Structure 1
Amino acid sequence: MNVSVLHALIAAALFGASTPLAKLLGVQVSPILLAGLLYLGSGLGLTALRFVRDRGWKPSGLGTGEWPWLLGAIGFGGVLAPVALMFGLTRTSGASASLMLNLESVLTALLAWVVFKENADRRIVIGMLAIVAGGVVLSWPQETVSAQEWTGPLAVAFACFCWAIDNNLTRKVSASDALFIAGSKGLVAGLVNCTLALFIGTQLPAATSLVPIMLVGFLGYGVSLVMFVLALRGLGSARTGAYFSTAPFLGAGISILLLGESISLMFLLAAALMAVGVWIHLMENHVHEHQHEPLEHDHRHTHDEHHQHTHGFEWDGAEPHSHPHVHTPMRHSHAHFPDVHHRHGH
């Protein structure tokens, strides 16, 4: 299995686990404050981890042209999307909202293909549809749901659209430090949601509940987002979004293991559809002759066929390592994904 696929599935598993883990804690707080605390736990935890890793504060390494992409991703995914979702949840049922959240992977793929010109062949489209169909089956209401005011579902759909934009913008900076990207998004989203919750009069939970919530946020939102960024780096937006949309199934599976919930026919059908979709994606073999244009960026790498450069500093031979490097024009043919080195047209 490609390591980037593994990153995407780990991201989905950690994010999917956050809901049953939060339920297991039995903490009763408002949705806005809960989202804020989860994001804040993510941002604080990742920032501390980065500080320890680098033995102090280290510049982000983002180029001047990359900051607008990151700020846009934070604005859409860390600010607008959570607020829109919380607004939508007050005006629609949980079942309807869960069903609509499957729009995120579809909109992510559509934006990737139509706006950002990411490659997608028939196999990838079919695989994504199977995975999304599994998500729809899993979250389909088991009881008749009364008609809801249209503003609620529209707000949830807008949140999905914002996250789809976020996913595609984050792909633009995915070669940079994943800890910095995910930590920044967590801090901003956490501060915005917590501030909003406190502004409307929500009370903070006791410290005994606060710490477990933020720990779940660190794992389910923080480490998950780091894995998601690494997957974007190697797979592109559409494929990462498709793998990540298995999160509801993985969350339900964890609920069965941790909370002893029963296995339904809908769960088994969803599992089968998602397994087929993931298998179709894993069988992808995209090979053609392609041209690499000149490119300068900074990320961890080994000296494979795409990294045959010299060093302007004394190098001890250790790999992988990270430093700014330049890719010279090259034309060749091999199996590849739309990763950070293969964002060419077809």
Structure 2
Amino acid sequence: MPETDTKIALNSLGFAKPPAETRVLVAMSGGVDSSVVAAMLAEEGYDVVGVTLQLYDHGAALAKKGACCAGIDIHDARRVAEEMNFPHYVLDYENIFKDAVIDEFAESYLAGATPVPCIRCNERVKFKDLLETARDLDADCMATGHYIQRMVGEHGPELHSAADANRDQSYFLFSTTPEQLSFLRFPLGHLPSKDETRKLAAKYGLPVADKPDSQDICFVPDGNYASVIEKLRPGAAEPGQIVHADGRVLGTHDGVIHYTIGQRRGLGIGGLSEPLYVVKLDVDAKQVIVGPKEMLSTRIVPVREINWLGDEALTSRPEWHVSVKVRSTRPPREAVIRPISATEAEVELLNPEEGVSPGQACVFYETGGSRILGGGWIWRGN
């Protein structure tokens, strides 16, 4: 028989079958972004399954706003599912979250680092355990409300910055692996602004249309890291000395955990002629070391645990000219990556940055483009 060309058009999620035959698990935090994703896909006719993760004791956080995983958010996610008529499940991930995210956050902070637990949560909980749950439910893919774009390139799926630079969450998603990326979808990444998301929420009549964005780490709803560490590790806030980089003892402190690299305010050492900043935290000596602003300037950044998303192997070249972010709130800066191994490299910033801190991520971007080439963890200070 002669061959006939019977190609089926791809649906909006990239599958060659009708939406009704495409099951998509939507990770629902209870916020407006993931609610809009679920509603949008349900309206398009997809077989939507909503899942919300209970990541810590939501009873204790029920009345706290600004935390993505509190009990009120579980309730809001359920209301959206009822409104749009798709099933919704709440999974108890408290133990997984504590082991994979909270404990490391505490240890990292106690070691004088400035951790980013949201990255570990995406890497070790949402895009690992929840993604496996999606496969167990026979889902074709998993969708989230993250502002980032997934594009299919010559060598497979690629990760790209969101269309709206002000909402871009690529810094928090650099550790997404190619295998995970093949299964993930980010339907909001192309939107020009958050206003568009809220307009969609209003269009679908969602009860969360005007809900404020969460600002804090979900298990630190008031932004007070030190108090959380003290609860997790009683006795961690041991007093010590505040020492100038030249060796002068300037005062005392109530615990290294109350300070971060680059901090200027609240040092408790007033009356000095020059402004001083925290330039190093010596946990073993219980010392907060302060110095002039120029001491915060860093050019060489050691990076490890690299997740590389380039088409060629990281070690295939002696150096890569890219742009990098060393903090989520800063724009990408020109840099050179010099690989040491497949997972470790030295990054040279062409223009030094201030306040580069161990525990933060260093994320790699294609120079002049939107593609994320991966990233790693900064592991040593100045």
TM over 0.5: same fold? no
Structure with the higher fraction of residues in helix conformation? 1
Q: Rg: which structure is higher?
A: 2
Question: TM-score, normalized by length of structure 2?
Answer: 0.29
Structure with the higher fraction of residues in strand conformation? 2
Higher relative contact order (Cα pairs below 8 Å, separated by 6+ residues): 1
